[in-house]
Amino acid sequence: MTGAYRIHSWNVNGIRSCSKKGFVEWLRTHGGEIVCLQETRAHAEQVPEEVRAIDGFHTHFVSAERGGYSGVGILSRRPFDAVETSLGEARFDSEGRLQFAAFGDLLLVNGYFPNGSGKDRSNDRVPYKLDFYRALFDRLEPERKKGRPILVLGDFNTAHREIDLARPKANEKTSGFLPIEREELSRWLDSGWTDTFRHVRGDEPGHYTWWSQRFGVREKNIGWRIDYVLASPGALPYVEDAHIHPEVKGSDHCPISVDVSHKIFGT
């Protein structure tokens, strides 16, 4: 077996809504090998049947206890070896934000990282958000140190550097671009994780993955890059390319992807 496989990540901002905007057609024609979804906002039984039982894909969905909130899902052409969903703390697990999926040697972590803004943009959820980042980092650290290929992908809800949002000065006090949030993402990168898009594309400006739904904002490309695929040192040699797909509509986010060698699976 030769060739590269594409792995997608997409915050769909409600799988029921996105499915009415062409999601299944996109999945069939452009979905690649594995598609990780965030903010599905549906219990498993509420995921449209055309998505949950689509031919040719194995599916797994996790929901929050609260209805219409958070949630993640994976659709894969190859079967899972195992899927876990717990960080070991009820305050995280109750929000349905994580899937740890094993595909051979590869550990694929699909994450919907918390937004820190809280009620009325008070930033009162920032401590919870940072605790989530740190708990996940600690959970993965033993496997990372062993050299296991790991990809952590999803909506990180943080723009790392000024180049990663259109209006950095105007958002210095906004959750998603607070110094303390950016420092936490820097800690991951300084510890050996790699932002695959920047690794491949360098410091090209104007690449964003989320836009406000206010009229004309997306057309003017006034956005934020808050969706990432991070690669462990054990995974990075298998990463062949990285993309952002702003032409794909259906959500206020667009899909991102990495192309990886089949060797990342160990088979």
- Residues involved in catalysis: 155
Token pair of 234, please? Answer: 């054990």
| Residue 224: Cβ-neighbour burial (10 angstroms; 0-12, 13-18, 19+) | buried
Distance CA 192, CA 229 (A): 14
Distance CA 49, CA 37 (A): 16
- The DSSP H or E segment spanning 227 is strand 227-231
Distance CA 101, CA 157 (A): 21
Query: Strand, coil or helix: what is 19?
Result: helix
Helix axes 179-190, 126-146, angle to 10 degrees: 0
Distance CA 7, CA 34 (A): 5
Q: Where are the beta strands (DSSP E) in 72-198?
A: 72-76, 82-84, 98-103, 106-112, 150-155, 194-195
Distance CA 180, CA 120 (A): 20
CA distances from 20 to 25, 27, 59, 74, 222 (A): 10, 13, 19, 19, 25
